[in-house]
């Protein structure tokens, strides 16, 4: 007989879950495992709402197994540590991003690329080593293998740090890997949402010139005055786009909707790089001539390994970079999801779990 | 026909070349039939030519009369832009192509299916002594087209695994170069009929037929890089799936319509799709010297000039191993 979510583990836990593809979230009783020797148990303080959470609760990628408790931008405080834990003590702050496990023995894991491990275990919706399904950060407590815990630097506010654990690393990792991190380079950022606004902040901190490319002209003032972007292009304005052709060393494309790559490839200089971090679920059209004629590339990137995530948050701390957030109580989450689907947020909702998640 | 017939002059920086051999590149066929929509008739194709220097201009430093030389895809560029200054004349926005293009004085360029050509020495290649003319001529386009991306995208680490999609003029040279770089090479093809050839004659380590689902499954995530020489519209997803983490798919063929690019495989495997277009002059010379050193030549079928139309028909059906080369000097008559 299958164990229910409430009984499969010894420790009672409480969260909000989606039970079907309507994506509607509601209170949910479940359980967490006992603290194993390399685990830390922590009380969740804040959890960011990533657009992936929305895709998942509505089964937009066709892989969701209900009930699902989303949330992979989690910050908490450690309440218990296992006997062999060395990284954290009780009372420490801890962050968790998109992964809670991997095989730890393959070439990718040994190279600190747990995010590319074929057996990577996601923070929610995936089978853990013990066969149970992982549940994410829209919950009161979590138990975590210490290897996947991120130390939150002291000078970063906890609520603004939470989204960095997914949105931040998702753009930081490709900036480094594709060499788009050198002062003086010109970076384009397509889409000004959770990922996009973090890309602007990181790139500016690295000394790059940044141009935001967006479908909405009303984000221009915000982008330039508040986020520090140097220029702003409205993608539907063909004249503006034409004028900017052949000016960018790289582009980080955060857009998940299907969209045209041709104008973006045109913005790149020779040897330029278009990096996809959004994941449209349908293929996009790739014109080959422009790639050839300018020796350009289109590449992808997926979050980052644990070592790099730590490096990224330390870099954020050094430059006082946090996400721009709207803090909400737990029971606002369904409204937040609706607003998120219309991109009506600057630029991440963060759930104040500790103060608003009340067990039923 | 002579190039720059209107001037007939050999400028100070020019060399005049008597053409001996000229390879038949698939681009010649595309342009001859106006398949790309920009052919300016009459067109004299041919951008894989080898010949001897007949005359040199007063400022020419690189060549002497009697030397064996080659001319490839370009005969001019602006010489001033960033690309030209970096020896990347092929990426200059004002590249002048060997045929179907215009010089700055407005005269048309005519290619190697002809008896002689006058070219600025900067765009002429020295042919190494031990490189035969017939087998070397196609390297001037096919060779550099695969050599350049192999260097640029780092496909030269011995022991790594290269896939070559398409086994034609470009593909077969990529196999040979791949082996010379010490790579393991797998030919990826839509048809099984070239398998014996690929392995026994060209030296490929293995051969993968894209329509064999079991073999494709077994090859998933095994290649470090793929050179895609296929010009027809084709699916990229199967090729992307063959790449390892951080794998690179480089397209050098020229499909006339956009291809479908699935994004998930790029993101989940940090893979990339890149392009490359021939190579600069310095790199083309380096490529010829590399081929001479490693005994790499194209596999050719030498033909007379009057066979050209039949050759073009056969080329359209990929019925050639793997380049036709016109023996211009012996067979082109007025």
| pLDDT category of residue A22 using cuts at 50, 70 and 90 | very high
Q: Do B252 and A292 touch (CB under 8 A)?
A: yes
Q: What are phi and psi of A13, to 5 degrees?
A: -145, 165
**In chain A, pLDDT over 90 holds for what percent of residues?**
94
For the cut 70, the answer to whether the pLDDT of residue A74 exceeds it is yes
Q: Is B126 helix (H, G, I), strand (E, B) or coil?
A: strand
Q: What is the C-alpha end-to-end distance of chain A, expressed in Å?
A: 26
Contacts of B264 in chain A (CB under 8 A): 279, 281
Q: What is the pLDDT of residue B334?
A: 59
As for the ipTM of the complex, it is 0.92
E strands, chain B, in order: 14-24, 49-56, 68-71, 74-76, 96-97, 116-120, 124-126, 161-165, 184-189, 206-209, 223-228, 243-251, 259-261, 272-275, 300-303, 323-327
| pLDDT category of residue A61 using cuts at 50, 70 and 90 | confident
Q: A306-318 and A194-205 are packed helices; what angle lies between their axes, rounded to 10 degrees?
A: 70
Q: Do A270 and B271 touch (CB under 8 A)?
A: no
- CA proximity to A68, closest of A6, A12, A125, A111: A125
User: What residue has token string 């970063």?
Assistant: A156
Torsion over CA of B305, B307, B313 and B314, rounded to 10 degrees?
-110
| pLDDT category of residue A2 using cuts at 50, 70 and 90 | low
Torsion over CA of B28, B30, B34 and B40, rounded to 10 degrees?
-30
Q: Do B266 and A284 touch (CB under 8 A)?
A: no
For A171-217, what is each residue's pLDDT tens digit? 999 999 999 999 999 999 999 999 999 999 999 999 999 999 999 89
Torsion over CA of B153, B155, B161 and B167, rounded to 10 degrees?
90
- CA proximity to A20, closest of A65, A62, A72, A70: A65
Q: Take residue B243 and report the two structure tokens written for it.
A: 């790449």
Q: How far apart are CA B32 and CA A194, in angstroms?
A: 51
**In chain A, pLDDT over 70 holds for what percent of residues?**
99
Q: Do A288 and B255 touch (CB under 8 A)?
A: yes
Of the candidates A285, A295, A300, the beta carbon closest to that of B270 is on A300
For the cut 90, the answer to whether the pLDDT of residue A5 exceeds it is no
Q: What is the pLDDT of residue A216?
A: 87
Of the candidates B245, B264, B274, the beta carbon closest to that of A291 is on B274
| pLDDT category of residue A4 using cuts at 50, 70 and 90 | confident
Taking a C-beta distance cutoff of 8 angstroms, is the pair B16, B53 a contact? Answer: yes
Q: How far apart are CA A59 and CA A40, in angstroms?
A: 30
- CA proximity to A128, closest of A120, A139, A117: A120
Q: What is the pLDDT of residue B229?
A: 96
For A130-158, what is each residue's pLDDT tens digit? 999 999 999 999 999 999 999 999 999 99
Mean pLDDT of A66-70: 96
Q: Work out the minimum CA distance from B131 to partner chain A, whole angstroms.
A: 29
- CA proximity to B254, closest of B102, B60, B26: B26
Q: Take residue B55 and report the two structure tokens written for it.
A: 């005359």
Q: Is the pTM of this model over 0.90?
A: yes
For B318-330, what is each residue's pLDDT tens digit? 899 999 999 999 9
For B7-56, what is each residue's pLDDT tens digit? 557 889 999 999 999 999 999 999 999 988 899 999 999 999 999 999 99
Contacts of A179 in chain B (CB under 8 A): none
User: Which residues, 6 or more positions from B191, have their beta carbon under 8 angstroms from its beta carbon?
Assistant: B209
pLDDT by residue for chain B (334 residues), tens only, comes to 333 444 557 889 999 999 999 999 999 999 999 988 899 999 999 999 999 999 999 999 999 999 999 999 999 999 999 999 999 999 999 999 999 999 988 899 999 999 999 999 999 999 999 999 999 999 999 999 999 999 999 999 999 999 999 999 999 999 999 999 999 999 999 989 999 999 999 999 999 999 999 999 999 999 999 999 998 899 999 999 999 999 999 999 988 899 999 999 999 999 999 999 999 999 999 999 999 999 999 999 999 999 999 999 999 998 999 999 999 999 987 5
User: Which residues, 6 or more positions from B46, have their beta carbon under 8 angstroms from its beta carbon?
Assistant: B22, B23, B24, B25, B28, B98, B99, B111, B112, B113, B114, B326
Q: Work out the minimum CA distance from A300 to partner chain B, whole angstroms.
A: 4
């Amino acid at each position: 007989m299958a164990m229910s979510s409430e009984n499969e583990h010894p420790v009672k836990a409480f969260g909000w879950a989606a039970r079907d593809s309507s994506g509607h979230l509601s209170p949910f009783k479940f359980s967490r495992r006992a603290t194993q020797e390399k685990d830390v148990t922590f009380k969740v303080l804040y959890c960011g709402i990533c657009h992936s959470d929305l895709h998942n609760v509505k089964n937009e990628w066709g892989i969701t197994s209900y009930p699902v408790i989303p949330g992979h931008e989690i910050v908490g405080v450690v309440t218990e540590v296992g006997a062999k834990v060395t990284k954290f003590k009780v009372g420490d702050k801890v962050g968790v991003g998109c992964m809670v496990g991997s095989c730890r023995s393959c070439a990718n894991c040994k190279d600190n690329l747990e995010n590319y491990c074929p057996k990577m275990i996601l923070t929610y919706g995936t089978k853990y080593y013990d066969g149970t399904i992982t549940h994410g950060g829209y919950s009161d407590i979590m138990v975590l293998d210490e290897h996947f815990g991120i130390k939150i630097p002291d000078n970063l506010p906890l609520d603004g740090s939470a989204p960095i654990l997914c949105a931040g690393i998702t753009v930081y990792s490709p900036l480094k890997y594709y060499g788009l991190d050198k002062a003086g380079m010109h970076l384009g950022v397509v889409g000004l949402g959770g990922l996009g606004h973090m890309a602007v902040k990181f790139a500016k901190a690295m000394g790059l010139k940044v141009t935001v490319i967006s479908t909405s002209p009303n984000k221009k003032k915000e982008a330039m005055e508040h986020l520090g972007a140097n220029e702003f292009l409205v993608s539907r304005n063909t004249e503006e786009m034409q004028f900017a052709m052949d000016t960018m060393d790289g582009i980080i494309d955060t857009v998940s909707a299907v969209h045209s790559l041709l104008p973006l490839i045109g913005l790149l200089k020779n040897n330029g790089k278009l990096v996809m971090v959004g994941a449209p679920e349908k293929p996009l059209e790739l014109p080959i001539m422009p790639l050839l004629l300018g020796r350009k590339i289109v590449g992808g990137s997926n979050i980052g390994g644990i070592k790099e995530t730590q490096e990224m948050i330390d870099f954020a701390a050094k430059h006082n970079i946090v996400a721009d957030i709207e803090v909400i109580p737990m029971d606002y989450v369904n409204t937040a999801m609706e607003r998120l689907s219309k991109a009506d947020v600057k630029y991440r909702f963060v759930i104040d779990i500790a103060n608003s998640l009340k067990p039923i | 026909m002579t190039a720059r017939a209107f001037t007939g002059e050999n400028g100070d920086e020019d060399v005049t070349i008597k053409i001996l051999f000229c390879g038949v590149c698939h681009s010649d066929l595309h342009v001859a039939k106006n398949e790309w929509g920009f052919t300016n008739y009459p067109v004299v194709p041919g951008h894989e030519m080898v010949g001897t220097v007949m005359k040199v201009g007063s400022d020419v430093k690189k060549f002497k009369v009697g030397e064996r030389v080659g001319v490839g895809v370009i005969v001019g560029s602006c010489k001033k832009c960033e690309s030209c200054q970096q020896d990347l004349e092929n990426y200059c926005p004002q590249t002048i192509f060997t045929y179907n293009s215009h010089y700055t004085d407005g005269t048309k360029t005519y290619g190697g299916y002809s008896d002689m050509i006058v070219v600025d020495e900067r765009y002429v290649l020295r042919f190494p002594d031990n490189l035969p003319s017939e087998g070397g001529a196609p390297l001037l386009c096919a060779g550099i087209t695969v050599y350049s991306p192999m260097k640029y995208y780092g496909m030269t680490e011995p022991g790594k695994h290269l896939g070559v999609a398409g086994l034609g003029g470009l593909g077969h040279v990529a196999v040979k170069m791949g082996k010379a770089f010490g790579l393991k090479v797998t030919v990826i093809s839509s048809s099984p009929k070239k398998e014996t050839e690929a392995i026994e004659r060209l030296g490929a380590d293995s051969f993968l037929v894209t329509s064999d689902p079991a073999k494709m499954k077994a090859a998933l995530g095994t290649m470090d890089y793929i050179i895609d020489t296929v010009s027809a519209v084709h699916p990229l997803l199967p090729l992307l799936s063959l790449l390892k983490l951080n794998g690179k798919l480089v397209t050098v063929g020229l499909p006339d319509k956009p291809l479908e690019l699935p994004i998930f495989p790029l993101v989940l495997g940090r893979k990339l799709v890149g392009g490359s277009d021939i190579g600069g002059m310095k790199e083309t010379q380096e490529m010829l010297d590399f081929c001479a050193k490693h005994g790499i030549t194209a596999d050719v079928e030498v033909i007379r000039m009057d066979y050209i139309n039949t050759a073009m028909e056969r080329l359209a059906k990929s019925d050639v191993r793997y380049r036709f080369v016109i023996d211009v000097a012996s067979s082109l008559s007025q």
